Structure 1
Amino acid sequence: MKRAPADTPDPEDNLSAYAGRWVARVGGRVVAHGGTPEEARRAAQAARYKERVEVSFVLPSHLTLPPLVDAVRGALPPDQPLYLVGGALRDALQGRLTHDLDFVVPQGGRRAARRVADALKAAFYPLDDERDIGRVVVTRADGGRDVLDFAAFRGPDLEADLRGRDFTVNALAMDLRSGEIFDPLGGAADLREKRLRACSPSALREDPVRVLRAVRHAAALNLHILPETRQAIRDAAPLLTRVSPERVRDEFFRILESPRPATSLRALDLLDALPHFLPELTEIKNVEQPPPHVSDVWRHTLRVLDHLEGLLALLSPHYDEEMAADLFNGLLVMRLGRYRRQLAEHLATALTPDRSRRALLFLAALYHDVAKPTSKTLDEDGRLRFWGHDKKGAEIASRRARALRLSNEEIAYLKTVIRHHMRVHFLTNRLYRKGKHPSRRAVYRFFRHAAEAGVDIVLLSLADLRATYEHTLSQDHWAACLDVSRTLLENWWERPQEVVSPPPLLNGRDLIEALDLSPGPLVGELLDAVREAQAMGEVSTREEALAFSRRYLSERAGK
């Protein structure tokens, strides 16, 4: 592999035009350039074959390495070879900071990681004994985490390591002792030209989870997947069934966590990858839906993801005001913008470490109509219906979640969101068609079944409504859904003790002693009835709760 000292742009040579590429110079002047050092050298030698050629990489003027790089460099002995590789360098070349850093050393990856962890007073995890990989997790003052992975060379030297990676944009390295850049496959040029190219014809078959990584990189970095790499993805996709569910899950959730999950899902569909890890989704293709739906179930599902991305962006703490210029977006911001902070905190929480609620919400959106193919019926008027698709869909989604090794909490969350995703639509229709706002009882029962997942159901329902009607959605119908959504969120965040979860006035022992009851299901039924009466504002003291309980028993006995 050709080596060259990294160059900073030189105004005299106008090197800024070559940022991210290799240049060949003769006598200090640029005579050729290329995507790899070999390309630049060959081009220069063809034109100036008798003169000595110097090849160097032109770093972008905005290149900024993450602050932790200096700390890592200082934590290891000065004579320890140390290279920053992969995504961290790729992002630095694009002027983006990352909190995930990959380092390689000739040998002793775990040993280097432990030494850095000790120096930084951070957590150390041995990831892979066979491949000599260790991880350091640094907790920042803001509560965030930086993840530093250290690995030994995969192969006899650095070039072999880089050539054995997944995509050329990740086959980059910087020597953190000398500043030299290593780019044997032209990854910097591919990055600059917005190309995604596999490092070798066998790269995807060697590790099929790279199929998912390819579409994630393409969507996140706005890269065009080259034809030969697209074919390699199709060829490797069936091998996903041989990959451990945990690895598939982790890479898939990185897609769901990304800013553009809908784009990645479309790409996975076009590349024939979905049947090999989300097979249920193939069944919803070409399943037609009656009006008011404007598309079949699969296209509707993708549009739900699109609209969900859009409304989450509009309701984020840092949103683009120009996005709200659209009438429907403006109404969304006006009615629900007050909850930006609460929504951001809610979506950032994790039921399981490393998998956010936001990602789970997109998974719920992806599966919310998955049972429609098996729920199709015709009513007396010959109209197509999908009765019970919410309940059946919850079960199908939970089976897929188990197959992906999600936690019990995550599975329960998915079931709740999908099982109850029609409830906001029912409340909206009552307001839009009959002018009836959600009652306190309706709000209480909604959150009694959904709990904190009710917030996610609201967000999914807004996206679902937009995707159902698209351009045919009326302003009044959208406003009704926003009003219902605001009522639910207002009660959840601003009036929880009044309606959502009133503090108990009685316990089971109180009822047993005061009403001469025996322990059993009736006591629980009474407690539920009392709490609902509290939510409706009918009782507010212990005495009123006991009086209500006596009336409830009397009416129950008279039925």
Structure 2
Amino acid sequence: MTLTPQTPRRPLIWHDCVQHLQKIVPADQEVYIVGGAVRDAFLHLPLHDLDLATPGDGRPLARMIANQCGGDYYSLDPERGIGRALISWNDTRLSVDVAQFRGPDLLSDLVHRDFTVNAMAVQLTGDLQQVIDPLGGLNDLQARLLRQCHPNSIADDPVRALRAIRTSVSHHLLIEPVTRQSLKDQAHGLQDASIERVRDEFFHILNSPKPAAALAALQHLGLLRYIIPEAENMQGVEQSAPHVFDLWKHTLAAVEALDTIQHLCQSSVSPDLTANLQFGMIVSTIHAVREPLREHLSHEWPNGRTHHALLNLAALLHDVGKPATRSVSDEGKLRFWRHEQVGERIALERAAALRLSNDEIARLTTIIRNHMRPHWLNADSPITARSIYRFWRDTGAAGVDVCLLAMADYLATSGVTLETRAWVGYLANIQILLERYYLHRDKAVPGAALLNGQQLLEYFRLEPGPLIGELLENLREAQAVGDISNTQEALEWVQRFLNNNHSNS
């Protein structure tokens, strides 16, 4: 192994921020760009985060970078000398972590990293085209291989197994055989790892370019059982028509479809996707509400977890209740009665185990509890105002997610057997639901009733109790569907309701 710099066969493309840091860091200071930033510069990929390594405490340099760039500074780990500068660059938020060497020198630092493609360094204050590559990371990148740095890389930190899957899928790298065996052998170590670290790496996977492929790899290598144990029960569970896949394959297809649908909402539409009949029709369906959908999907949960990842988790868990509810009818058809309710309880337990926030758990369980409702609408007849009102009353903002998941679920159910006429009718209902929510919200989302509780008590001489809540809810629904529009009509409506339903009140 050597620390002699080499010039790669292709130039490294560096972010403007790196060029700026090169100017503000003292030329005589020994500072190296390490980790994924070097890999991505070689692959000509965008910079997301920047890791720097230095012989001494990295916190003073991190503080200086934050000050010079008008950013924020955080001391991450005083014992290991790690500091972070959060800076804004061309409307992009970048994280610059500066750490003391993991060992006495740069070689020791690189050797003790996870994978060879992440164990390269470039001197920040030197020639940015000269790469220090003691473990052959450049050769592995060119050969499209992911290789552990040393035999104990995964055993030393089992969470690296999850990072291996994400790196492999995101960068189209084949995990070489010895490393693949290490992932299998050390999978059990995930049960003793910090649940927060496991969760965060898992969410990175759910947010990666190919989450369905990553989930399939996690399951194949025996890793997923330590994150989502219930996924084991989903393997090989057969489903009746119109399903064309077994439960696990259907689930992966739903994740893939939902991930694609989210990208359709969030970014410029690929010509390949618009040419695809299934997804091209979705583009037309969401056209009028694409901007609010993009804003909805850009929401960020605690610790930077993306809504995109949470929705992909919902797709992974949407049918998790099926194995426990499987039954066979007299006609021999497989049924999964109330699987969405059982799935909601399982998702609640799993989300709590992953230590998601209460708001994330509420959103996830609401999606799963209601994911069948768009399927129950009749695609051959117009959706009623009452159905629209009740859908949004019960789901709130999560109803948007339910609509997106429902489209993915429908595609994952039909596969290549998708009937265009049925798909058109299904999307028409989804379009009505979304446009009513975003463009005519007063008719979709419960508002204040024309009468309040005190008025009901006094005018109709009622006693406080559940009846008041029942009346207010029914009043709101009557308003939303257009049965009443003013106070007098509301009073008459309540009187009729009481006469018909509570004649003894």
How would you bin the TM-score normalised by the shorter chain? over 0.9
The 1:458–1:210 alpha-carbon spacing in structure 2 relative to 1, beyond 3 Å, is same
Matches of 1:72 and 1:514 in 2, distance apart?
A: 72
Q: Is 2:133 the partner of 1:188? A: no
Q: Pick from 443, 459, 477 the counterpart of residue 498 of structure 1.
A: 443
C-alpha displacement of 1:74: 4.3
Q: Is 2:159 the partner of 1:214? A: no
> What residue number does 1:50 align with?
none
> What residue number does 1:2 align with?
2
Q: SS state of the match for residue 402, structure 2?
A: helix
C-alpha displacement of 1:356: 1.4
**Higher alpha-carbon Rg:** 1
Matches of 1:397 and 1:174 in 2, distance apart?
A: 44
Contact 1:82 1:177 in 2 (8 A): yes
> What residue number does 1:146 align with?
94
> What residue number does 2:367 align with?
417
> What residue number does 1:30 align with?
none
Q: Pick from 253, 267, 287 the counterpart of residue 303 of structure 1.
A: 253
Contact 1:443 1:500 in 2 (8 A): no
Contact 1:75 1:115 in 2 (8 A): no
> What residue number does 1:373 align with?
323
C-alpha displacement of 1:448: 0.9
Q: Pick from 336, 345, 366 the counterpart of residue 386 of structure 1.
A: 336
Matches of 1:418 and 1:403 in 2, distance apart?
A: 17
In the TM superposition, 1:38-77 aligns within 5 A as 56-58=6-8, 60-61=10-11, 63-77=12-26
Alignment RMSD: 1.8
Matches of 1:504 and 1:149 in 2, distance apart?
A: 53
Q: SS state of the match for residue 77, structure 1?
A: coil
> What residue number does 2:357 align with?
407
Q: SS state of the match for residue 558, structure 1?
A: coil
Deviation string, structure 1 residues 132-179 (Cα, Å, up to 9, x no partner): 21112224564x421111110001101110110001110011101112
Contact 2:57 2:80 in 1 (8 A): no
Matches of 2:71 and 2:491 in 1, distance apart?
A: 56
> What residue number does 1:483 align with?
428
Moved more, 151-160 or 352-361: 352-361
C-alpha displacement of 1:4: 4.5
Matches of 1:82 and 1:514 in 2, distance apart?
A: 78
Matches of 2:458 and 2:86 in 1, distance apart?
A: 55
Matches of 1:221 and 1:190 in 2, distance apart?
A: 12
Matches of 2:483 and 2:303 in 1, distance apart?
A: 42
In the TM superposition, 1:4-23 aligns within 5 A as 4=4
Q: SS state of the match for residue 455, structure 2?
A: helix
Deviation string, structure 1 residues 38-75 (Cα, Å, up to 9, x no partner): xxxxxxxxxxxxxxxxxx313633x3322222443444
Q: Pick from 116, 127, 140 the counterpart of residue 65 of structure 2.
A: 116
> What residue number does 2:109 align with?
161
Matches of 2:161 and 2:3 in 1, distance apart?
A: 31
Q: SS state of the match for residue 310, structure 1?
A: helix
Q: Is 2:307 the partner of 1:360? A: no
Q: Pick from 404, 415, 426 the counterpart of residue 459 of structure 1.
A: 404
> What residue number does 2:124 align with?
176
In the TM superposition, 1:202-351 aligns within 5 A as 202-351=152-301
Contact 1:496 1:502 in 2 (8 A): no
Q: Which has the higher contact order (CA 8 A, sep 6+)?
A: 2
Which amino acid letter does the alignment assign opposite residue 244 of structure 1? S
**Any unmatched runs of 5+ in structure 2?**
none
Q: SS state of the match for residue 350, structure 1?
A: coil
Contact 1:499 1:534 in 2 (8 A): no
C-alpha displacement of 1:380: 3.7
What TM-score, normalized to structure 2? 0.95
The 1:325–1:70 alpha-carbon spacing in structure 2 relative to 1, beyond 3 Å, is closer
Q: Once the two structures are aligned, what percentage of the paired residues are identical?
A: 43
**Any unmatched runs of 5+ in structure 1?**
6-55
Matches of 1:81 and 1:161 in 2, distance apart?
A: 14
> What residue number does 2:497 align with?
552
Matches of 2:213 and 2:495 in 1, distance apart?
A: 58
Which amino acid letter does the alignment assign opposite residue 301 of structure 2? L
Which amino acid letter does the alignment assign opposite residue 286 of structure 1? G
Contact 1:317 1:340 in 2 (8 A): no
Which amino acid letter does the alignment assign opposite residue 129 of structure 1? P
Contact 2:300 2:306 in 1 (8 A): yes
The 1:546–1:352 alpha-carbon spacing in structure 2 relative to 1, beyond 3 Å, is farther
What TM-score, normalized to structure 1? 0.86
C-alpha displacement of 1:3: 4.4
Which amino acid letter does the alignment assign opposite residue 195 of structure 2? P
Q: Is 2:385 the partner of 1:440? A: yes
Contact 2:389 2:443 in 1 (8 A): no
The 1:65–1:436 alpha-carbon spacing in structure 2 relative to 1, beyond 3 Å, is same
Contact 2:3 2:134 in 1 (8 A): no
Deviation string, structure 1 residues 427-454 (Cα, Å, up to 9, x no partner): 1xx22xxx32211110111111111111
Matches of 2:448 and 2:23 in 1, distance apart?
A: 55
Q: Pick from 476, 480, 491 the counterpart of residue 531 of structure 1.
A: 476
Q: Pick from 19, 29, 40 the counterpart of residue 80 of structure 1.
A: 29
> What residue number does 1:16 align with?
none
Matches of 1:555 and 1:185 in 2, distance apart?
A: 81
